[in-house]
Amino acid sequence: MMKRLCYIGIATKCSLSSGFITTQTKTTHRLLFQTSRMMVAKSNNNLVTIPDAITAHKQNSKHIKFIDGSWHMPVGDNPRNGRAEFISGPRIPGAFYYDIDDIAPAMGSDDNPKKLPHMKPSSKMFASAMDQMGILPSDTLFVYATNDCAFYHRAYWTLRSCGHDPALVKLVQGSLDEWKECGGELEEGQLGEEDERLFRMSDLGWEEKTPTYQVMSDNEDVVVVDMDQVLDIVNQKDSDAADAVIVDARSAGRFVGTAPEPRPGLRGGHMPGALNVPFTDLLDADDKTKFRPMDEVRDIFIKAGVSPDASSRKVVCSCGSGVTAAALAIGLEECGLRNKEDITIFDGSWIEWGSSDSTPIVTD
């Protein structure tokens, strides 16, 4: 399968750079746990600076779309809400909002009987959402977040994992404050209820329609694993020889069970054999909408126990509910430790594992 790649160069802060360079490559879809033939993974060029994103936005191309992927943990007395902040503004002009809670199988449905939050949507649901946003398979997508949002990686990961060409999905590094400082346009004001960008999947009747958007692949099991697959990894006697290594994005305290889980009813601790890489360690301490330099990200993973040999084991990323695991998946790929096809997310993550009475948990 031939795919077009669209790259944007790196620029210094508020220094606008040139446009796109187009090339082609072949991508082979491999199933989970298949042995990789590559000794060294290739780092990507999917993280883009604010100046580069502004350059793309100023092209006013119908094939360049901006998507707000902001999401926040729904805990505390007054939690932030990504959808509400998109409605109230500011936002990048013409942007849509990708709601990871809405573009997901409904809790209690046949596709989500355990009532788990923001699970990966089916190909049909994803394609229907793309149709609603007017996105074509050939469009380049720029995923951004509102100020101080550390959780927009799941939207980016979903777009790349559900059928849009991964090379055409870019993750904007930087805040809306930086966007404004660098001369980027912002759309202010409250959106009206009738605005087409505020759709809900439950209102579209998508189940009875045939979407026009064509996903790249119908193989829906490559990018996520379920609890049975994770149990198989955990139950292998020699963890060093297991088919994959599990990397947990939760804080060190939650990992060892000394800090409480933010969701009630979950046991503390971690899966036997899992490694701990708190996702916040990968992010810029001064701006959560940016990763740290990729050489630092690579070192963090290696020090945690992830082998630098890309022909080594696959990596299963886990977290609280499947959101911050996406930051690990992106970091692993972008720093060159693993190829995209060698990384999966345990979609149910700790909310599924920790709520079960039968799953093994350790605290050391």
- Which pLDDT value is given to residue 20? 40
Q: What is the token pair recorded at 297?
A: 């990200």
Which residue type, as a one-letter code, is found at position 257?
Answer: G
- Which pLDDT value is given to residue 239? 66
Query: Tens digit of pLDDT per residue, the chain (364 long)?
Result: 333 223 233 334 676 554 443 323 333 333 333 333 344 566 568 999 999 999 999 999 999 999 999 999 988 889 999 999 999 999 999 999 999 999 999 999 999 999 999 999 999 999 999 999 999 999 999 999 999 999 999 999 999 999 999 999 999 999 999 999 999 999 999 999 899 999 999 999 999 999 999 998 755 558 999 999 999 999 986 666 678 999 999 999 999 999 999 988 899 999 999 999 999 999 999 999 999 999 999 999 999 999 998 778 899 999 999 999 999 999 999 999 999 999 999 999 999 999 999 999 999 8
β-pairing, 314-318 vs 244-248, is parallel
β-pairing, 20-26 vs 2-8, is antiparallel
What is the pTM for the complete model shown?
Answer: 0.88
Query: Could you give the 3-state DSSP secondary structure of residue 343?
Result: strand
Q: Where are the beta strands (DSSP E) in 100-254?
A: 140-144, 169-173, 224-225, 244-248
The residue written with tokens 């060159």 in the block is: 336
Nearest to 242 by CA among 33, 30, 29, 32: 33
Nearest to 68 by CA among 32, 105, 97, 99: 97
Q: Would you say 290 and 330 are in contact if contact means Cβ atoms under 8 Å apart? A: no
